[in-house]
Structure formats: C-alpha cells, structure tokens
C-alpha cells in the first residue's frame, strides 16, 4: 500500500483507497499476531551524506552471502563479458522499454547515465513503485535518479499490472488477486536489459516503496541468485507465515520505515528485520546509531548484513527531514555483489 502523491496539483486517490489501506493494516496485524526474454523494444527516448552504519566504507566491496548459488542460474555472473557489452553504446537518457510477459505487454522506464560507455559493466538497480503508483511517480519520489548519474548505474522503473505487484499473500490489488508472477517479470526485465546494455550481473539490486518494497523482499526470498542485495522502504515480507521466506543464500538487506506509518505498521518492519537476521544467521545484538531523527540498527555478525533505519516519517518514508534514503541505500547496496 502507498500514499499516492498528487500529480500536477490534482487529487489522484480514489475514494475507496482509505478502506483498502485499512484492510491491509488489519490483515497485516492478523498475520503478525499469528506468527521470455523478448528483444528490447524502445518506444521513447529523451536525451546528503549517508549515516555511517550503511555498510562498509565507500569503495569497499563485499560478496553477498557465503552460500553458493543453489539455484544454479547461469545468469549470475557466468560470463566474463555480458552480452550487452558489444557494439556501440546506446545514447544516454531516459527510454521506455517493453517486454511480453504472461501474455501481457509490460512496460518499464530505463535511465542510462551520461557516463555510460557500453564497454565497462555497470550495476543495475530496479526501483519498484507502491500500490496505485506509476513508475514515473516512483522515479520522481525515491531520489535514485540523480544518484544514477553521479554513480553511473542503470536504473529501471517497471510498471505493475493495474498499478500493483504480487508481493505474496496479502498485497496488493489485481496483481496479487490474479497471482501474477512478478518475480519472474523482474527476472525477465533483468535478462532483457543485460542483453542490450553492459550490465554487471553480479551487481543487480532491488529497492521499492510499500507494495514495491514488499516485492523487493520477495525477490530476496525467491530470486536471490539474481539479486545481490535489497533495500525495501515502508515494507514487510508479505509471505504468511514469514518463515516461508527461506532464500537459497544469505542476502544483504537494509530496511527503512517511518515511525508514524499508519499503513505498514512499524512493528511489521521490525519483525521483518528480525526474520532477516535469523535467515542470515546473525548473532549478538544489533548495533544502534542515532543521528537527528534517524535510529539505525545493524547486525554485523552475520553471513550477510541486515539493517533497519527508523525515521521520523509516516508511510512515505522518503519524506523525512534527516536522511536521504537513496544515498544511504545506495551506499549499502553498492558494497555487495553475488558470489
């Protein structure tokens, strides 16, 4: 679920949204208590310092998890040179891409930074919008677009089916009701981008807001042979029970949650944080750091690091006065790569 931002000063929310948010909050509370690759089609083309607990120092790099890839996927860093690293580099800028998935035409936005040469493999970040959002809204909301230019990574913003993602058992909308394979969709997107662009397949990351953050959790649970690390925002694991999330290898996870979130409750984020600590075999107590209105906890004795930042914010945690989530998340994500 998500608070949907206004577009052009208009009021975009349907009247039934509040009841949907309440239903999600109630079902979330009940659950907590119980505890193929088509050729790319280009349709359009247009030319804050993080806290110190975001991970290793800038410029350092970690292998994401110590367990070998149990899925045996040939996609995860199997070739010395990705297929998209040959030929002339595409022009930098924004483009709209499409692919066919489950008999539907699906669309995503792709940003290629100005420094992209097409010769050196670069990371790919997938940024997933919230329920009843659009990809363009998430692109303007999350703050990763200027970082893509500064740090040189490719940035993809896919559109969910009827503005929703199937994140698991409760959320959200038409995608969840139809049991769409959105994990498979993201995998197909990764394959398509890597076929035409010089992608470092060991440095593919996922983030997202609310429903999109829940899907990034699910990617870490079910497709971490392709995803090196995730940074969900205002999101919980949407599998019930949560213990169903048993990834093939430990996965670096950094969570962000507003303390005043009325849609995905803060305690749901904390339970998700503790689940990832168990899955990643963390020991000892998490280290806590505070700066302004931000309190970040991070387990350090783990097979893969797990962190949680509590912010002075409501559901749209990007809107907080103390922390650039994008800068903090990228510092964390960019240190990790697939084995």
Across the strands, what pairs with 7? 10
In a domain, 270, yes or no: yes
In a domain, 17, yes or no: no
Reading the chain (339 residues) residue by residue, the pLDDT tens digits are 544 443 333 333 333 334 344 344 434 444 433 333 333 333 344 333 334 333 333 233 444 443 333 233 333 333 445 668 987 777 899 999 999 999 999 999 999 999 999 999 999 999 999 999 999 999 999 999 999 999 999 999 999 999 999 999 999 999 999 999 999 999 999 999 999 999 999 999 999 999 999 999 999 999 999 999 999 999 999 999 999 999 999 999 999 999 999 999 999 999 999 999 999 999 999 999 999 999 999 998 999 999 999 999 999 999 999 999 999 999 999 999 999
What residues contact residue 270 under an 8 Å CB cut-off, 6+ apart?
Answer: 257, 308
For the record, the structure tokens of 81 come out as 């040179």
In a domain, 16, yes or no: no
**Residue 114 DSSP code:** T
**Residue 163 DSSP code:** T
- Chain centroid, CA 295 distance in Å: 21
Residue of 319, 320, 20 lying closest to 163 (CA atoms): 20
Number of domains within the chain: 1
d(CA 241, CA 239) in angstroms, rounded, equals 6
CATH number for 155? 3.40.50.1820
d(CA 186, CA 167) in angstroms, rounded, equals 12
Q: What range does the domain containing 198 cover?
A: 27-337
What residues contact residue 26 under an 8 Å CB cut-off, 6+ apart?
Answer: none
In a domain, 13, yes or no: no
pTM, two decimal places: 0.79
Phi and psi based region of residue 175 (left: phi greater than 0; alpha: psi -120 to 50; beta: remaining) = alpha
């Amino acid at each position: 679920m998500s608070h949907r931002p206004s577009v052009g000063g208009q009021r975009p929310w349907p009247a039934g949204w509040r009841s949907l948010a309440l239903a999600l909050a109630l079902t979330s509370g009940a659950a907590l208590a119980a505890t193929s690759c088509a050729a790319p089609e280009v349709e359009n083309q247009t030319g804050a310092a993080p806290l110190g607990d975001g991970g290793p120092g800038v410029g350092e790099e970690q292998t994401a998890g110590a367990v070998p890839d149990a899925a045996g996927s040939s996609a995860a860093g199997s070739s010395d040179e990705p297929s998209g690293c040959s030929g002339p580099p595409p022009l930098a800028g924004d483009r709209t891409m499409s692919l066919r998935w489950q008999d539907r035409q699906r669309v995503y936005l792709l940003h290629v930074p100005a420094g992209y040469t097409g010769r050196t493999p670069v990371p790919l970040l997938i940024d997933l919008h919230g329920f009843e959002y659009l990809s363009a809204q998430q692109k303007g909301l999350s703050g990763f677009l200027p970082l893509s230019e500064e740090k040189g990574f490719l940035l993809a913003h896919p559109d969910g089916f009827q503005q929703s993602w199937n994140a698991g058992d409760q959320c959200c909308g038409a995608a969840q009701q139809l049991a769409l394979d959105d994990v498979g969709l993201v995998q197909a997107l990764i394959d398509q981008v890597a076929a035409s662009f010089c992608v470092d397949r060991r440095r593919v990351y996922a983030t997202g807001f609310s429903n999109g953050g829940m899907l990034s959790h699910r990617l870490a649970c079910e497709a971490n042979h392709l995803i090196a690390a995730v940074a969900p925002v205002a999101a919980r694991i949407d599998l019930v029970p949560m213990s169903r999330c048993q990834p093939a290898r430990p996965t670096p996870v950094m969570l962000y949650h507003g303390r005043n979130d009325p849609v995905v409750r803060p305690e749901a984020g904390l339970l998700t944080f503790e689940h990832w600590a168990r899955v990643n075999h963390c020991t000892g107590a998490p280290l806590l750091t505070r700066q302004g209105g931000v309190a970040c906890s991070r387990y350090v004795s783990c097979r893969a690091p797990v962190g949680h930042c509590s912010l002075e914010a409501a559901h749209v945690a990007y809107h907080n006065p103390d922390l650039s989530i994008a800068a903090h998340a990228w510092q964390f994500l960019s240190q990790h790569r697939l084995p």
